[in-house]
Amino acid sequence: MARRFDDKRRGRDNAREGRPSPSSPQNRQAPAHSGSGRPVIYGFHTVIEALKNSRRQAMVLHVTENALNRLNDALPKLPVAPRLARAEEIDRMTGSGAVHQGIALEVDGLPAGDLADLSGEGTVIVLDQVTDPHNVGAILRSAAAFAAEAIIITERHAPDAIGVLAKTASGGLEHVPLIEVGNLAQALVKLGDLGYWRVGLDSEGPEDLEQSLATGPIALVLGAEGRGLRRLTRERCDTLARLDMPGAIKSLNVSNAAAVALAVVTRFRTAK
Q: In 3-state terms, the chain is what percent helix, strand and coil (to 5)?
A: 35, 20, 45
The pLDDT value given to residue 38: 82
Please report, for the chain, the start and end positions of each structural domain, with discontinuous segments joined by +: 5-108, 115-271
Q: What distances in angstroms separate CA 251 from CA 109, 248, 258, 259, 267, one per listed residue?
A: 35, 9, 12, 13, 21
Domain 115-271 -> CATH class: alpha beta
The pLDDT value given to residue 36: 63
Indicate the pTM of the whole model: 0.82
Q: What is the pLDDT of residues 133-168, one digit of tens each?
A: 999 999 999 999 999 999 999 988 777 777 788 889
Per DSSP, the three-state class of 134 is helix
Determine if residue 164 is left, alpha or beta; phi over 0 gives left, psi from -120 to 50 gives alpha, anything else beta. alpha
CA pair distance 96, 43, nearest whole angstrom: 14
Q: Which CATH number fits domain 5-108: 3.40.50, 3.40.1350, 3.30.1330, 1.20.120?
A: 3.30.1330
The pLDDT value given to residue 67: 94
Chain-centroid distance, C-alpha 8: 16
Supply the angle between the helices 65-74 and 44-52 in degrees, to the nearest 10.
Answer: 50
Low-confidence stretches of the chain (pLDDT beneath 70):
1-36, 96
The pLDDT value given to residue 118: 95
Total number of residues shown for the chain: 272
